[in-house]
Structure 1
């Protein structure tokens, strides 16, 4: 065995996986814990998941890879102690703080490749300074969740380019020192950026709580969606990965893109985790969260959807606009709201909700194709939702792009492990997580449903949903 540990610090849950990379990628054990908002509790939860994995290790772990959600982090004092809870990307920030940033530099989104939303760390820091000046005055470091875990393991502060790029504080030459000065922060407030393949450090004495000995190489491998895309083989121009979880991300690999236009349309532009190509990412923050909310309001919805075979899918006559709190892309609209159009029974509504997520993702992907100047060549679906609902990947495939589905459990965590193994020279750069070919659903009416969806979504006025 050649064992590598992969960590994925996600919005809802934190995952640890132990994989054997001796011949491909074989999962040995996976563990999950809820992702807490308390920094110390986050470290403890990650350590507990790691220790569980290590009880299944017959040989020592030779490397650790860390992937994480972007934009979530915490302020730390000079001693490294947290002075805020985890300030998450989805917690909601007054848009006036974003506007202050744009008033200072209207071209900042276009230059950084980060859309003008309230999620980036730059906006979080402005909000913290305005709303909690006492906490801001005590701030010595800002650390994203991957950096928090890397520091707990190694004693060193480090991040990677794909996570740094999501802060809106990155320039071509490193951290934006002028903007940081305007915020009242030194560049050292942010973690040093490691180039692709560079270690964050090696495990130190504090790693004992994780069950790891000193000296194990640790890598912050990147933004979770970018890691997942790379792991399932989306690595060259034309490849697309659709990552399904609490939120959804469509990641397109391309040679070039009009960055300013892409950002205006609500897409983020960055690089692959190995730095070899450009990525265009479009997100839908209400993916799994929307299904969970629908189940709370109409118990039995999820059971119904799990029971539908892809071959038996029929397009719902109802149209749902899946925007509980605004649309991120395309055509960004923070005022867009959830809306149900048309009449039908409980089955029609359940299918319409899932259908809306599939159609929103198709709109995102086709918009990225337009930005990239070419159609997608391949599409790989990954994430627990695709495993849970057997019809989901076939519905995605019905749009006509050759589609595969990851069959790896916890593909982002496994991808973090694989990336660490590759850069340490213990796995081939050609290895990817296992996938299977997806047969498209032949459900009649899906194209017509897509056109109805686009007409409704592009409407100028989107009203809040009324109960039907």
Structure 2
């Protein structure tokens, strides 16, 4: 089979990454490039151009297709000329929760209808906040574009997005199949404000002459691969009911594929319900805003602990329990049992920086397990296999073995930048350059950690969370 080169981009909360991928019977990541994710649209395009140009230069043949994955619920208001009127309004921005209450007053059934919990993150809330707090900006706005859509427009001149990103705006019908004009107009906006919706497999367009800035030729099909966590799940073969991905980044997401779920019950528990990136299955997605962000918070609050440095050298398989339970919520809990007022609490005697490192990591793993087991309950069946995705598994070798200690068959993606590489692979499939039953990114089986009381630690974590909710 001849080699095909495809290019993937992952616009993450902290870092924007590109991956050059070679597809034959297998998938190989040839080159990766990284830049910090900027805070405004023009700088985002520059950062994307830099990393894509670097990867394109490493290709020994033409680029056959491009895929773009991105964090969801992040975008900018643009004027008629496409100029940004706001910085990038990200999923983790500070928003007055009164705007959420306004949205629910107007549309009380919207969370169950869309499969998206009512939080401060969706574009529906961002638009309400702009209308109330920046009426000058709201009046001048002619486009609302997500971060993936901004880069796709710079490459192609077309404004479009995919179903997984559209669904999370709360402005689309369930699954992101079409924009909900009634909701949009009730916010004082027009459907024309939003990018066109592309069906799974349909490209945004082809690269224009402006793609020279990205080191790319004209005529290359460009696809919005979708929500970063969902792309990483698909790329590591999480595609059938029962299969689950644990995506570790600045935030963490558990992505569970299912064939049935009570949407209203799931949304009440803080979970998002959508579709897989290929549109063939239903996903239950439970998120936590504090994964890598929790480690950064700890290092900022307790620099003497050098938490991240401690975690990188923890033993991989032989584990010593930390003495404390850490409730890892510097900015609230998204799910299960949503609580925007939840905050960090350390329960127990933390004797040393090493002990605190053990306590924090095992508590992060326990919280993710709580999300996964709740998703299993919502799906009506246990997880059959678990794929761990994200660079934190490389930086902190003990993380994946701790996850595997719960007893579910677990693998970890062995490729660099799996979301960017997955976006490239999905683009190859959609462009007809790879089989529809696409090869997946290389994953390796994880040997569980041994020598500790994981079940007791997990029970203590759940008891601490329950006690917090009752206090």
What TM-score range do you get, normalising by the shorter chain? Answer: over 0.9
Which residue matches 2:47? 45
Cα RMSD of the aligned pairs, angstroms, is: 1.1
Query: Is 2:465 the counterpart of 1:448?
Result: no
Which residue matches 1:329? 335
Which deviates the most, 54-63 or 252-261?
Answer: 54-63
2:213 aligns with one of 190, 209, 216: 209
Query: Is 2:264 the counterpart of 1:260?
Result: yes
Query: Is 2:443 the counterpart of 1:424?
Result: no
1:403 aligns with one of 405, 410, 419: 410
Which residue matches 1:274? 278
Query: Is 2:368 the counterpart of 1:361?
Result: yes
List runs of 5+ in structure 1 lacking aligned partners: 464-468
Kindly state the Cα deviation for residue 300 of structure 1 after the two structures are TM-superposed. Answer: 2.6
Which deviates the most, 289-298 or 3-12?
Answer: 289-298
If the length of structure 1 is used for normalisation, what is the TM-score? 0.97
Q: Distance in 2 between matches of 1:286 and 1:344?
A: 20
2:93 aligns with one of 91, 94, 109: 91
Which residue matches 1:10? 12
Alignment size in residue pairs: 463
Structure 1 residue ranges (4+ consecutive) displaced by more than 6 angstroms after TM superposition: none
1:74 aligns with one of 66, 73, 76: 76
Kindly state the Cα deviation for residue 178 of structure 1 after the two structures are TM-superposed. Answer: 1.0
Question: Does the CA contact (< 8 Å) of 2:75 and 2:147 recur in 1?
Answer: yes
Question: Does the CA contact (< 8 Å) of 2:114 and 2:170 recur in 1?
Answer: yes
CA deviation vs aligned residue, 1:313-365 (integer Å, no higher than 9, x gap)? 11112000000011000000111100000102222111111111100000000
- SS of 2:308's partner is helix
For residues 66-465 of structure 1, the aligned pairs below 5 Å read 66-172=68-174, 174-296=178-300, 297=302, 298-345=304-351, 346-430=353-437, 431-461=439-469
List runs of 5+ in structure 2 lacking aligned partners: none
Kindly state the Cα deviation for residue 445 of structure 1 after the two structures are TM-superposed. Answer: 1.3
Q: Distance in 1 between matches of 2:213 and 2:402?
A: 44
Kindly state the Cα deviation for residue 96 of structure 1 after the two structures are TM-superposed. Answer: 0.1
Which deviates the most, 198-207 or 173-182?
Answer: 173-182
Question: Does the CA contact (< 8 Å) of 1:14 and 1:35 recur in 2?
Answer: yes
CA deviation vs aligned residue, 1:398-424 (integer Å, no higher than 9, x gap)? 001000000010000000000000111
Which deviates the most, 100-109 or 166-175?
Answer: 166-175
For residues 58-73 of structure 1, the aligned pairs below 5 Å read 58-73=60-75
Q: Distance in 2 between matches of 1:24 and 1:153?
A: 28
If the length of structure 2 is used for normalisation, what is the TM-score? 0.97
Question: Does the CA contact (< 8 Å) of 1:337 and 1:462 recur in 2?
Answer: no
Question: Does the CA contact (< 8 Å) of 1:246 and 1:288 recur in 2?
Answer: yes
Question: Does the CA contact (< 8 Å) of 1:339 and 1:462 recur in 2?
Answer: no
Kindly state the Cα deviation for residue 461 of structure 1 after the two structures are TM-superposed. Answer: 4.9
Q: Distance in 1 between matches of 2:131 and 2:55?
A: 40
Question: Does the CA contact (< 8 Å) of 2:269 and 2:337 recur in 1?
Answer: yes
Q: Distance in 1 between matches of 2:277 and 2:440?
A: 14
- SS of 2:459's partner is helix
Q: Distance in 1 between matches of 2:213 and 2:431?
A: 24
Q: Distance in 2 between matches of 1:65 and 1:193?
A: 16
Kindly state the Cα deviation for residue 460 of structure 1 after the two structures are TM-superposed. Answer: 4.2
Q: Distance in 2 between matches of 1:260 and 1:398?
A: 32
Kindly state the Cα deviation for residue 429 of structure 1 after the two structures are TM-superposed. Answer: 2.6
- SS of 1:399's partner is coil
Q: Distance in 2 between matches of 1:217 and 1:425?
A: 11
CA deviation vs aligned residue, 1:191-215 (integer Å, no higher than 9, x gap)? 1111100010000011111011110
Kindly state the Cα deviation for residue 382 of structure 1 after the two structures are TM-superposed. Answer: 0.7
CA deviation vs aligned residue, 1:386-443 (integer Å, no higher than 9, x gap)? 1111110010000010000000100000000000001111112331100000011113
Which residue matches 1:466? none
Which deviates the most, 77-86 or 236-245?
Answer: 77-86
- SS of 1:7's partner is strand
Which deviates the most, 180-189 or 397-406?
Answer: 180-189
Which deviates the most, 39-48 or 291-300?
Answer: 291-300
- SS of 1:279's partner is strand
Kindly state the Cα deviation for residue 301 of structure 1 after the two structures are TM-superposed. Answer: 2.1
Q: Distance in 2 between matches of 1:407 and 1:331?
A: 33
Q: Distance in 2 between matches of 1:141 and 1:393?
A: 41
Kindly state the Cα deviation for residue 295 of structure 1 after the two structures are TM-superposed. Answer: 2.5
Kindly state the Cα deviation for residue 108 of structure 1 after the two structures are TM-superposed. Answer: 0.4
Question: Does the CA contact (< 8 Å) of 1:177 and 1:186 recur in 2?
Answer: yes
Question: Does the CA contact (< 8 Å) of 2:19 and 2:55 recur in 1?
Answer: yes
Q: Distance in 2 between matches of 1:316 and 1:236?
A: 36
